[in-house]
Chains A and B, each alone.
Chain A
Amino acid sequence: MAEQGVAQIWRRIKSIYNIQGNKCETCKTYFFPPRPVCPTCRRKGKLVDYHFKGLGSIYSFAIVRQAPDDFKLEIPYVIAQVELDEGCRLTAQIVNVDPENVEIGMRVRACFRKIKEFGQSGVIMYGYKFEPTMKVTGHQK
């Protein structure tokens, strides 16, 4: 039996470390997390791995004030739906910004962070969070 969280994280490492999803070559739709079946094309679909650029904008967000133990130290934190430039959305924390300054439409880029710990003796989960883009990096649209 795997230690708490280990297998659950390990089998998804490609996706949660690198934002690796996939793309259906038939209908040109991007998916994150990767889908095993294209819901539009089904058996006619052709799915290939795709490494997302990690750039997008905030579609909607919440400032979490009550959270489970794994996230208590971070309260208040911003969780958002980020619309990636390729066209799909994911759910991630927004960091490196005062929660009061976050707004819908804000440009963000992925960064690699610790997400949570599975209890005191469990595995530590790392993965994507997002932060506001800076003018100097050319990530503004």
Chain B
Amino acid sequence: MPNIDVKSRVEDGGITMSNRVAIIGVGMCKFGELWDRSLRDITLEAGLYSIFDSGVRGADIDGLVIGNMSAGRFTGQEHLGAQAVDIGGLGDMPAYSVEAACASGGAAVRQAYMAIKSGEHDVMLVLGAEKMSDVNQTEAMNTISVASDWEWEGMFGATFPALYAFMARRHMKDYGTTEEQLAMPTVKNHKNAEHNEWAQFQRAVPIGVVMGSGLLADPLRVLHSAPVTDGAAGLVMCREDLAKKYTDTPVFIESSTQAGDTLALHDRKSITTMNAVVNSSRLALKEAGLELKDIDVLELHDSFSIGEIILTEDVGIAKKGEGGKALEEGITEIGGKFPVNTSGGLKARGHPVGATGVAQIVEIALQLRGDAEKRQVKGAEKGLAVNIGGTGATSIAHILGR
């Protein structure tokens, strides 16, 4: 394979192809249990918001990708690409949905990135959406569980929280991670979400409340876990050379990488590290020509608080086993060296499964544009988002820069 500098531009027969892809518009609906709004309503809102933010007209968009995990089970509707184009009045453009469990949103961003980079598309609308509250809590949990190995884990009684509880218990045993540390991602992320008007829970929770909340699967508690959320998020992405035509504050995707691991958690050598996260985030830094110290803000997949602790280590902010300590030292707070989940993360912003990966990119883009208001990380220039599927069988990393 030829060694092409990711930032270089290739002259090809008079047509300038861009090696970088720009994000020129972002949008979301407010996340929450939105009983009065349908999957169509929230998809439309996120899409329109992104388009208005970008300055493009509908006619400028030549393709749509939507990330979604399981609308068929949550709402009875599939074929979401066609639905999104139809309700947006966007005509007959190519559109489809992509699925990678909880990483479906990240996968949608990556699909559009590849489509634009290849030269096949110029301007694309990327959406992520999940409507989870149309089914009851049990059915919602069953549907999430199929992100793991259903036939060999779920069917034997391993709920999704139980699988993360395996990780938590082993992490506590091997590295001495404490119950206080296990509660800290929740406390930090709720505090961050106080200033995010799109977040499901815009309020702080004291550590005692987290530690005293109901047990889901010991040692994991309700407040260690991301909630059931309805929500949609969107981005308008385009070729680098078109970006300035639409906006003065484009943000660029410096790298987009993906790595995998076994579907079942019990097939991994270690359950306290996610190889897919290690590999995708290292590769993302390499492809962007950056080091971790260059990253100013991060969104890390905290579907359970132990997830944020493990990802903090696997991305390299903390040594293995010291993710809890990094939280205690405030390294991952806004104002710390590596602010993690300034949006509130999955825990407090909410976790509409297919929308999450897109919402992470929305947050990083806002931070780099300087539009994150009271939760702004001063002078942020580079940001990393890591979106994982299942118990780490898929990891998708994006590095953004301005």
Contact = CB atoms under 8 A, between A and B. Distances in A.
Contacts of A33: 151-152
> Which 4 A-B pairs rank lowest in CB-CB distance, beginning with the nearest?
A62-B165, A89-B266, A62-B217, A63-B218
Interface string B133-144: 000001001100
Given A12-B151, A104-B169, A104-B170, A65 B218 contact: yes
B165 A90 contact: no
Nearest to A67: B159
B218 A60 contact: no
Interface in A70-85: 70-71, 74, 77, 79-81
Interface string B243-279: 0000000000000000000001111000100000000
Interface in A12-56: 12, 33
B331 interface: no
Given A62-B218, A66-B217, A93 B157 contact: yes
A8 interface: yes
Contact of B169 (A60, A65, A70, A92): A60
Contacts of B173: 60, 104
Nearest to B221: A65
Interface residues of A, number: 32
A138 interface: no
Nearest to B173: A104
Contacts of B166: 59-62, 80-81
Contacts, number: 96
A115 B157 contact: yes
Interface residues of B, number: 33
Interface of A: 8, 12, 33, 59-71, 74, 77, 79-81, 88-93, 104, 115-116, 125, 127
Contacts of A125: 155
Contacts of B153: 91
B156 A64 contact: no
Interface in B158-194: 158-159, 161-163, 165-167, 169-170, 173
A80 B169 CA distance: 11
Contact of B159 (A12, A68, A92, A115): A68
A127 B155 CA distance: 11
A115 B156 contact: yes
